[in-house]
């Protein structure tokens, strides 16, 4: 047993560690001086007989490929579902607002809306028409804003999905190459 593994204090039996062989160190428990023993060579454990050793499992390249492809498919489906859910979550408010505005106005009217001109006197027939045109214009601007926001988020999330698909495919191809090399090495 070596000093690194520890040794017992002859006075109190406390387990001590460390110290240079031949050095005198005080016991941590009883403070008695102790000479650190010389390391002793320990016999390595005897190897198990050949009949007791379990054979190394055979490497099945086809099974490894199937597992990799299954795992990659699951990853891609989960990433797709997560991105779709994220899109729905982040654009919910904009989509709700757009649907509300579209319930009041036709989409073609929103697309073609222009700011009303003039400033008619309240109470006149022109004022009512102007107010309706102004309400359409305000709704059309909000609708365009919501549509632009949803479109930007859609493009960003789609871009993120494409990058993650590319990374997953790259990792898959690298792992399939490793499987191929390992299978070739087993045949040699």
Task: Looking at the structure, tell me whether residues 108 and 172 fall in a common domain.
Answer: yes
Cα-Cα-Cα-Cα dihedral of 57, 63, 67, 69, to 10°?
150
Residues 61-119: tens digit of each pLDDT: 888 889 999 999 999 999 999 999 999 999 999 999 999 999 999 999 999 999 998 88
Task: Looking at the structure, tell me whether residues 103 and 182 fall in a common domain.
Answer: yes
Measured from the Cβ of residue 56, the count of other Cβ atoms closer than 10 Å reads 6
Could you tell me the pTM of the whole model?
0.58
Contacts of 40 by beta carbon, 8 Å cutoff, 6+ apart: 1, 2
Cα-Cα-Cα-Cα dihedral of 154, 155, 158, 164, to 10°?
-130
* Mean pLDDT of the 137-161 span: 96
Asked if residue 45 belongs to a domain, the reply is no
Task: Looking at the structure, tell me whether residues 122 and 167 fall in a common domain.
Answer: yes
Task: Looking at the structure, tell me whether residues 85 and 173 fall in a common domain.
Answer: yes
Asked if residue 64 belongs to a domain, the reply is yes
Task: Looking at the structure, tell me whether residues 35 and 91 fall in a common domain.
Answer: no
Asked if residue 21 belongs to a domain, the reply is yes
In this prediction, residue 1 has a pLDDT band, given cuts at 50, 70 and 90, of very low
CA distances in angstroms from 42 to 4, 35, 45, 175, listed in the order given? 13, 20, 9, 42
Domain membership of residue 23 as a residue range: 1-39
Task: Looking at the structure, tell me whether residues 66 and 3 fall in a common domain.
Answer: no
Task: Looking at the structure, tell me whether residues 104 and 17 fall in a common domain.
Answer: no
Asked if residue 122 belongs to a domain, the reply is yes
Report DSSP state, residue 50. G
Number of structural domains in the chain: 2
């Amino acid at each position: 047993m070596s000093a690194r593994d520890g040794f017992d204090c002859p006075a109190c039996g406390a387990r001590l560690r460390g110290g240079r062989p031949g050095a005198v160190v005080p016991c941590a428990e009883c403070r008695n001086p102790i000479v650190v023993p010389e390391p002793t060579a320990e016999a390595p454990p005897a190897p198990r007989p050949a009949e007791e050793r379990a054979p190394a499992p055979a490497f099945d390249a086809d099974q490894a490929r199937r597992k990799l492809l299954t795992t990659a498919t699951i990853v891609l489906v989960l990433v797709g579902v997560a991105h779709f859910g994220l899109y729905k979550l982040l654009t919910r408010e904009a989509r709700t607002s757009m649907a509300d505005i579209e319930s009041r106005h036709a989409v073609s009217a929103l697309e073609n809306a222009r700011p009303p001109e003039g400033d008619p006197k309240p109470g006149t027939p022109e004022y009512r028409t102007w107010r309706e045109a102004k309400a359409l214009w305000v709704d059309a601007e909000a609708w365009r804003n919501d549509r632009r926001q949803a479109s930007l988020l859609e493009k960003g999330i789609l871009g993120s999905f494409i990058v993650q698909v590319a990374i997953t495919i790259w990792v898959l191809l690298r792992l399939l190459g490793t499987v191929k090399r390992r299978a070739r090495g087993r045949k040699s």
